[in-house]
C-alpha cells in the first residue's frame, strides 16, 4: 500500500513516499520448448487466466523480438524459425556474439536500436533472450532501459545460466574494466528452462555451470554436495540428459540448486541485505576473471575463489582437513580449476579492499562450515588469509594451474 507522509519544518514542507514495489515472475522447467505445439515460449509468462484466454481467442498475430547468442543461433536457427512461423508470429531475430568481452553498453544500445525499429508494445510483447548468462544479462539491461521497463523472457542455454542468471533479478554489462559495473535489478517476466539445450553445450561449459551448483551446495545443502560428489562426473559425461542412469540425479540436482538459489535471492532481490551467501566465490573471482579474460570462464574463476576460501575456512577452524579434502576432490572430479597463477596474494588483497567499498565497509566473506553450512565473516585476519594462501598454493599449484 502506498503511503505519503507530509511534514513541516522551518525550512519548508517535505513529503516522504513509502511505496512497496512488487514483482511477480515465473521460473518454469519445461521440455521441448521449441516444439511448435508447446506454447510456453509465447504465452507461458501470462499469469492472468482471463488475459491468457483473450490472447488465445484474438485474431491478432503475436509479435516477438528475439535476441539469440550467435553460437546458439548456429545450432537452433531452423527449429526457432520453424517454431515462430508455425505459430504465425511476427518476429525479428537478432543474433549476437554475446561473449564476456562483448558484454558492454554498446551491445545493449545495439539491441535497443533494433528493438526501437521493430516497434514493440512494451506491455504485451516481451523481448525474448536465448543464450548463456552474458546474453541474458545484456538483454535484461536493455529491456529495463527501453521505455523505462519492457518485459523480457529468459531462456538459458548453458548450465550456468540455467541455475544462476535465469532465476534472479540482476541485469548488467561490464564497464571500466569491471564486471557488471552497470546494471539494474529488474527480474524477467518469466524464465523458461529446458535441459535439452545442454546436449549441445561443450563439456567445459557443463563443468563451468557445476561450479555455481557446488557454490549453493557448500553454502546451504549437504545433500546437494553429496549428490555432486557422487554423481557429478556422470552428470558431466551425460550433460544432464534424461537417460535412465542420470534422470533422477539430473532433475534432483537442478531442482535443489534452483530452489536454494531462489531461497537466497527472492527475499533480497535488490540486495538491501549485503550479507549474501550467494556471494561465496564472488569476492576475488570478478578481479581474476577480468584480469585473465577470456581464458577463464565465469564458473571457473568462481571455483578458484571458492577453492581458496575453503583453505581460509580450514585455517579459521570451520572445516576439518577431511572436509577440505573432500571439497577439493569434488571440484577436481567436476573438472574445475582449483588454482591459478594469476590469483596472487596481491590480487586477493586488492579484491577484498574493493569489496569493502561496495559492502558498507565490511568484507562480508561467506565461508563454508562443514559440508552444507556457512557463516558470513567480517573479522578474518590477514594472518589467516596469508597462511591459507601459502598452503593453497603449495598444495594445489603443482601441475594444477588452469590450462584451459
Reported as a pLDDT band with limits 50, 70 and 90, residue 404 is very low
| pLDDT tens-digit map of 145-157 | 999 999 999 999 9
Mean pLDDT confidence for 192-203 = 95
Give the count of beta carbons closer than 10 Å to the beta carbon of residue 77. Answer: 13
pLDDT exceeding 70 applies to what percent of the chain? 97
pTM above 0.85, yes or no: yes
The pLDDT, as a whole number, for residue 242 is 66
- Any idea which residue has 588469509 for its cell? 385
DSSP letter string over 178-210? EEEEEEEE---SEEEE-GGGGGGS-HHHHHHHH
The pLDDT, as a whole number, for residue 244 is 61
Question: In 294-367, which residue ranges form alpha helices assigned H by DSSP?
Answer: 298-315, 321-333, 345-358
C-alpha cell at 157: 542455454
pLDDT above 50: residue 109? yes
- Specify the 3-state DSSP secondary structure of 305: helix
Category of 155 on φ-ψ map: left (φ > 0), alpha (ψ -120 to 50) or beta: beta
Average pLDDT, the chain: 93
| pLDDT tens-digit map of 142-192 | 999 999 999 999 999 999 999 988 888 999 999 999 999 999 999 999 999
Q: 282: closest CA among 296, 263, 255, 303? A: 303
**Residues 6 or more apart from 286 whose CB is under 8 A from it?**
178, 179, 180, 301, 351
The pLDDT, as a whole number, for residue 400 is 46
Structural domains in the chain, CATH included, are: 26-200 (3.40.50.1970), 207-238+260-396 (1.20.1090.10)
Give per-residue burial for 115-138: e unless 16+ CB within 10 Å, then b: beebebeeeebbbbbbbbbbbbbb
**Residues 6 or more apart from 381 whose CB is under 8 A from it?**
none
Category of 68 on φ-ψ map: left (φ > 0), alpha (ψ -120 to 50) or beta: beta
pLDDT above 60: residue 379? yes
**Is 170 in the active site?**
yes
C-alpha dihedral sign at 275, 277, 278, 281: positive
Give the count of beta carbons closer than 10 Å to the beta carbon of residue 177. Answer: 10
Give the count of beta carbons closer than 10 Å to the beta carbon of residue 372. Answer: 17
**Which one of the listed residues 56, 57, 74, 170 is annotated catalytic?**
170
Amino acid at each position: 500500500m502506498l503511503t505519503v507522509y507530509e511534514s513541516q519544518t522551518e525550512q519548508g514542507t517535505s513529503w516522504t513516499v513509502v511505496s512497496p514495489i512488487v514483482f511477480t515472475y515465473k521460473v518454469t522447467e519445461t521440455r521441448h520448448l521449441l516444439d511448435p505445439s508447446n506454447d510456453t515460449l509465447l504465452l507461458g509468462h501470462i499469469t492472468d487466466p482471463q488475459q491468457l484466454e483473450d490472447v488465445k481467442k484474438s485474431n491478432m498475430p503475436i509479435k516477438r523480438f528475439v535476441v539469440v547468442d550467435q553460437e546458439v543461433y548456429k545450432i537452433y536457427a531452423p527449429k526457432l524459425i520453424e517454431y515462430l512461423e508455425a505459430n504465425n508470429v511476427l518476429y525479428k531475430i537478432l543474433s549476437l556474439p554475446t561473449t564476456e568481452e562483448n558484454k558492454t553498453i554498446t551491445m545493449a544500445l545495439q539491441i535497443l536500436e533494433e528493438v526501437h525499429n521493430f516497434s514493440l508494445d512494451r506491455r504485451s510483447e516481451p523481448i525474448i533472450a536465448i543464450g548463456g548468462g552474458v546474453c541474458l544479462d545484456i538483454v535484461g539491461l536493455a529491456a529495463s532501459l527501453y521505455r523505462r521497463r519492457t518485459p523480457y523472457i529468459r531462456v538459458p542455454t548453458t548450465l550456468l545460466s540455467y541455475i544462476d542468471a535465469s532465476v534472479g533479478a540482476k541485469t548488467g554489462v561490464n564497464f571500466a574494466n569491471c564486471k557488471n559495473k552497470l546494471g539494474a535489478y529488474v527480474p524477467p517476466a518469466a524464465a523458461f528452462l529446458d535441459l535439452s539445450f545442454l546436449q549441445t553445450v561443450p563439456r567445459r561449459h557443463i563443468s563451468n555451470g557445476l561450479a555455481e551448483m557446488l557454490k549453493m551446495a557448500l553454502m546451504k545443502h549437504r545433500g546437494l554436495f553429496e549428490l555432486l560428489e557422487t554423481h557429478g562426473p556422470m552428470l558431466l559425461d551425460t550433460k544432464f540428459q534424461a537417460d535412465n542412469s542420470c534422470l533422477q540425479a539430473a532433475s534432483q540436482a537442478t531442482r535443489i540448486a534452483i530452489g536454494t538459489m531462489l531461497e537466497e535471492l527472492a527475499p533480497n532481490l535488490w540486495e538491501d541485505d549485503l550479507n549474501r551467501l550467494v556471494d561465496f566465490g564472488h569476492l576475488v573471482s570478478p578481479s581474476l576473471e577480468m584480469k585473465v579474460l577470456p581464458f577463464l570462464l565465469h564458473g571457473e574463476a568462481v571455483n578458484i575463489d571458492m577453492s581458496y576460501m575453503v583453505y581460509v575456512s580450514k585455517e579459521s577452524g570451520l572445516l576439518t582437513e577431511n572436509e577440505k579434502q573432500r571439497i577439493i576432490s569434488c571440484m577436481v572430479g567436476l573438472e574445475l580449476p582449483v588454482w591459478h597463477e594469476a590469483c596472487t596474494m596481491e590480487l586477493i588483497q586488492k579484491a577484498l579492499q574493493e569489496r569493502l567499498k561496495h559492502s558498507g565497509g565490511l568484507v562480508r566473506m561467506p565461508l563454508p562450515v562443514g559440508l552444507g553450512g556457512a557463516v558470513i565473516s567480517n573479522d578474518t585476519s590477514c594472518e589467516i588469509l596469508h597462511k591459507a594462501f601459502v598452503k593453497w598454493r603449495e598444495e594445489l599449484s603443482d601441475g594444477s594451474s588452469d590450462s584451459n
